[in-house]
Structure 1
Amino acid sequence: MGMKIIIIGSGVAGLTAGYRLCKSNEIIIFEKDAEIGGMAASYCQECAGKRYFIEKYYHHIFRSDSELLDLIRELGLEDQMLWLKGKNAYFVEGKSYPMNTPIEILRFDPLSFTDLVKLGMLVLRIKLIRDTTSYDNIKAKDWILETAGKSVYENFFAPLLKSKFGDNAENVSAAWLIGRVKIRSDRGKDGEKLGYLRGGFNSLIEALAREITAQGGKILQNKAVEEIVIKDNAVQGVVSDGEFIPCDAVISTVEPRVLDILTKGKLGALHETLRSIHYQGTACALIGLKKRLMEDGNYWLNIKADVPFGAVIEHTNFMPFEDYGEHLLYVTSYFQNENDTLWVKKEEEVLDTYLKGLERMFPDFERTDINWAKIFRRMDTAPVYEQGYLQKVLPFAPGPSGLYLAGMFSSTNYPERSMNGSVKAGLEAANFFMKKDKKCEVCWLD
């Protein structure tokens, strides 16, 4: 049966690559965590006799996510797709401002009418940009200041950048900002519609896993790879739990710095690039509540306030409450290194600081409203697209024969990362393998 391919990581990119290759190859996926799915992994909960899955980290689908939507159709999940209005607001100085329609945006008091016109012109300008390459070497901060002025930057963009990138906020490129605005620009007169799978993205992850295992593939959980063995510039196999497992090819989806460790620095010119790509972490609280927190129906709340998180996402102000039997809330923040208190502190301490922040923002919120609460943390959430990042985008085939790369670091996730970008990365890595495999077959036949 074809080639033996080892995939490191069972996130969306790894599972998509495995799915695409499993019908004609032997697939083995190594996952260091207990659950599959990576950043799309889910938490199983029960409320009032109803068992459901909810993502550990919030997700939704955009209309432009064509590869992801094609994959959903291919897996027979199209009937679970819903397109719903996700109401957005901006919390500033104790007040929540709806930001869904042009009329609502015009009522955003922190910006003057002149500032709002400048903001509108900036968004219009972004929509007309086709190629972001020239913006990669420009800082988002500098571009906003030059294009829309100091007030628009300080009162609108700076808090958003700070909540998303922390101490790295001023280093992020204008290319990322343009990509971000473009992906969120599918708005009608009533606001933005977002997609979600009824039953959660666990349905997608499990469907991919079923297809792989049905073809004889294996998914090994709680199983980390310690080394990718490369000899004479060709992959020989991997080492896990001290055991060498030979294979014909490896598709790695791990963070670049981890890849550098696994390959023992044998990727030549890429060695320094792998070490220079900076990833940030996420500390995301998922809370089950007895009653709704945001009575105004907001799904997504961006925040400019003295609280230890940058956004509050009320999932059941988007998806039907009846699907869960309780209200579900995400409270989230990003951190930039392993010394950050959000990573160092115990989970219960992080949760307590988040709850204190909610109490300051929402006077009617009480801890007795909580059914349960969990903190989920990862150090390898996604790369930070700093100024000049385009030069660091990793190739799908980095050099050694039999080694392929796919993940958040791939060109398909630039300049704005997304689940669709990871699906595309998995497909591209599989395509690179199949092209090279086809060439080998031709050589052998000759």
Structure 2
Amino acid sequence: MKITIIGSGLAGLSAGYKLCKSNEVVIFEKDAEIGGMTASYCKDFAGKKYFIEKYYHHIFRSDSELLDLIRELGLEGQMLWLKGKSAYFVDGKNYPMNTPAEILRFKPLSFTDLVKLGLLVLRIKLINDTTSYDRIKAKTWILDTTGQSVYENFFAPLMKSKFGENDENISAAWLIGRVKIRSDRGKEGEKLGYLRGGFNSLIEALAKEITAKGGRILQNKAVKEIVIKDNTVQGVIADGDFIPCDAVISTVEPRVLDIITKSKLGTIHETLQGIRYQGTACALIGLDKGLMKDGNYWLNIKADVPFGAVIEHTNFMPFEDYGEHLVYVTSYFQDENDSLWLKKEEEVLDSYIKGLENMFPDFSRTDIHWAKLFRRMDTAPVYEKGYLEKVLPFAPGPTGLYLAGMFSSTNYPERSMNGSVKAGFEAAKFFTKKEEN
């Protein structure tokens, strides 16, 4: 079969990897680089060349499909499991949040509140099915379970930085999924996985396997229309050319899918319009010296700064791999009218740097080697109450059209690289079933 895949993120590449062995696969990528949200930035600093992701990523021990894929591609030797120290910046002070003893010293919460928080985490660990929590607001559930103080002093700032004006509409199912994936900790804290050399190795390995089997990956090539006639896919239009195919796997954001299918998806047309996505403005900064002297990797923030988290990559991965300190500073935004999307790159970077100066007295602009800002409007869905009803099917109706991405069931209630790999694999299964029959 001739299969067109729209998007070269992990979902698209994973589907292509599974299908290229027995099908003619063509992947269309609108950007210059492949990888989607997992794309990397190539930097040459002081004669040392390295790859670093434009948006921070790591692996959890529960990411079984992703870890199996890494082994299958021969990358297991690059896998590292390292301690990812985290903290919460509140009222000008960092509070480590790695071990039970450290959490008990989190002064913004009383001892009673900390006990309630601990019991909530234990309760979440026992929840295996989040379906019944999908139609409950996270705020309501937290208030009912732990009270006002725990919500206001712990959860509210985190949810505000993550979802902005939508923070009070987020489902409890998402919160539970988020806590479960981040609460697999030993006595010394959480260990996270990363590929030495970066996830560019994974993206390039997938691309190499696809092209070696005859597949093609076309960059700077946006699909403008999926041609559907008599409820059957005929092909796609890109750069004004019609390219016939037997099937299409689309990984694009739902509203974009609605546009390129000319609203021909019938019953799910309203669903496509109703799934809201949010954007990310993520700065990546190369520094002469480390920012967080206490060794923290991940810092959540409750402060009057224009970002919600600071992630110091070289407090996680060895400094020697890069020759300079690397820090991510990131914030989410809700629509195209947000200043984080409209302002020039240098303006956003300047506001971020001012925020870092306010938070870290020892930090100076003279420490900066370089800074880059990466922005996307389609970072992730906003997981509002009742989102489960909007989760898109892998086969939405028209013959030959399949969907896989962050909107898939494998990425709810919490998105991850593993969820995108699983989505790509699930879409590919439709074709392997046909081959078996």
- 1:365-404 aligned at under 5 Å gives the runs 365-404=363-402
Equivalent in 62, 80, 101 of residue 99 of structure 2: 101
How large is the Cα RMSD of the aligned pairs?
0.6
Query: Does the CA-based 8 Å contact 1:238-1:244 persist in structure 2?
Result: yes
Residue 216 of structure 1 corresponds to 214
Q: CA deviation at 1:162?
A: 0.5
Equivalent in 280, 283, 295 of residue 282 of structure 1: 280
Give me the whole-angstrom Cα distance separating, in 1, the residues matched to 2:429 and 2:105. 49
- 1:17-416 aligned at under 5 Å gives the runs 17-416=15-414
Residue 430 of structure 2 corresponds to 432
Q: CA deviation at 1:55?
A: 0.1
Query: Does the CA-based 8 Å contact 1:404-1:433 persist in structure 2?
Result: no
Residue 416 of structure 2 corresponds to 418
Q: CA deviation at 1:435?
A: 1.9
Q: CA deviation at 1:52?
A: 0.2
Q: For 1:13, what is the secondary structure of its paired residue?
A: helix
Give me the whole-angstrom Cα distance separating, in 2, the residues matched to 1:197 and 1:384. 29
Q: CA deviation at 1:357?
A: 0.4
Q: CA deviation at 1:437?
A: 5.0
Q: CA deviation at 1:130?
A: 1.1
Q: CA deviation at 1:46?
A: 1.2
**What runs of 5+ residues in structure 2 fail to find an aligned partner?**
none
Equivalent in 8, 12, 15 of residue 14 of structure 1: 12
Give me the whole-angstrom Cα distance separating, in 2, the residues matched to 1:332 and 1:389. 25
Give me the whole-angstrom Cα distance separating, in 2, the residues matched to 1:47 and 1:229. 46
Matched to 2:42, the amino acid is C
| Cα displacement string for residues 218-266 of structure 1 (whole angstroms, at most 9, x for unaligned residues) | 1000000000000011100000011100000000000000000010011
| Cα displacement string for residues 374-420 of structure 1 (whole angstroms, at most 9, x for unaligned residues) | 00000000101100000000000111111000000000001000000
Q: For 2:320, what is the secondary structure of its paired residue?
A: helix
Matched to 1:19, the amino acid is Y
Residue 442 of structure 1 corresponds to none
Give me the whole-angstrom Cα distance separating, in 2, the residues matched to 1:241 and 1:231. 20
Moved over 6 A (4+): none
Query: Does the CA-based 8 Å contact 1:396-1:405 persist in structure 2?
Result: yes
Give me the whole-angstrom Cα distance separating, in 2, the residues matched to 1:430 and 1:296. 45
| Cα displacement string for residues 285-318 of structure 1 (whole angstroms, at most 9, x for unaligned residues) | 0000000000000000000000000000000000
Query: Does the CA-based 8 Å contact 1:8-1:14 persist in structure 2?
Result: yes
TM-score by structure 1 length?
A: 0.97
**What runs of 5+ residues in structure 1 fail to find an aligned partner?**
440-446
The percent identity for this pair of structures is 85
Give me the whole-angstrom Cα distance separating, in 2, the residues matched to 1:28 and 1:298. 42
Give me the whole-angstrom Cα distance separating, in 2, the residues matched to 1:438 and 1:198. 38
Matched to 2:223, the amino acid is V
Give me the whole-angstrom Cα distance separating, in 1, the residues matched to 2:168 and 2:185. 28
Give me the whole-angstrom Cα distance separating, in 2, the residues matched to 1:202 and 1:168. 33
Give me the whole-angstrom Cα distance separating, in 2, the residues matched to 1:364 and 1:248. 60
